[in-house]
Structure 1
Amino acid sequence: MVRTPLTPEERERGERLGRFLREARGGRSMADVAAAAGVSAETLRKIETGRAPTPAFFTVAALAGALGLSMDELAGRCAFVGA
């Protein structure tokens, strides 16, 4: 199966998600947050650095729960800001 290349907007949205999750994590270690969410630290690292710009919904939901964030808040912070 060939994956369709991401648009610049999708890449930017993934970068915004990563920045927001990193900010929300604050002083907590990546390993602690990943364990609380039930994902690997490498998965969280890829999301935070933008290397995984389109993580699965359930991964994002688990991270939001581990960080005490609502999905509405995440969606609002990561929405496309067009010209």
Structure 2
Amino acid sequence: MVRPMLSPEERERGCRLGARLRQARGSRSMVDVAADAGIPVETLRKIETGRIATPAFFTVAALAQALDLALDSLAADVAVSPRQIPIATTA
């Protein structure tokens, strides 16, 4: 199965997610946070750098728990603002 290409908005949202997680991690090491979340440190590295723009829900949930972040707050922090959503027009 071929995965469709991500839109620029999806890639940007992935970058915002990575930046938000990096900010929440603070001075904690990637190794410690990844271990607390039960994920490989390389996965955390890829998410933080935007190389995994759409991580699995359970990965995000585990990271949010390890970083003491509320999922709804995290989602709001990385959501696409209404002015970024293209408006479809019909002819």
TM-score by length of 2: 0.89
RMSD of aligned alpha carbons:
0.6
Paired residues in the alignment total 83
Instruction: Give the match for residue 20 of structure 2.
Output: 20
Query: CA offsets per residue over residues 29-68 of structure 1, 9 Å max, x none?
Result: 0000000000000000000000000000000000000000
Instruction: Give the match for residue 86 of structure 2.
Output: none
**1:82, CA displacement in angstroms?**
4.2
**1:6, CA displacement in angstroms?**
0.2
Report the secondary structure of 2:64's partner residue.
helix
Distance across 2 between alignment mates of 1:82 and 1:44: 28
1:46 aligns with 2:51: no
| Percent identity of paired positions between Structure 1 and Structure 2 | 67
5+ residue gaps, structure 1:
none
Distance across 2 between alignment mates of 1:62 and 1:52: 16
For 1:69-80, list aligned pairs within 5 A. Answer: 69-80=69-80
5+ residue gaps, structure 2:
84-91
- Which one has a bigger Cα radius of gyration? 2
Matched AA of 1:37:
A
TM-score by length of 1: 0.98
Distance across 1 between alignment mates of 2:77 and 2:13: 9
Instruction: Give the match for residue 60 of structure 1.
Output: 60
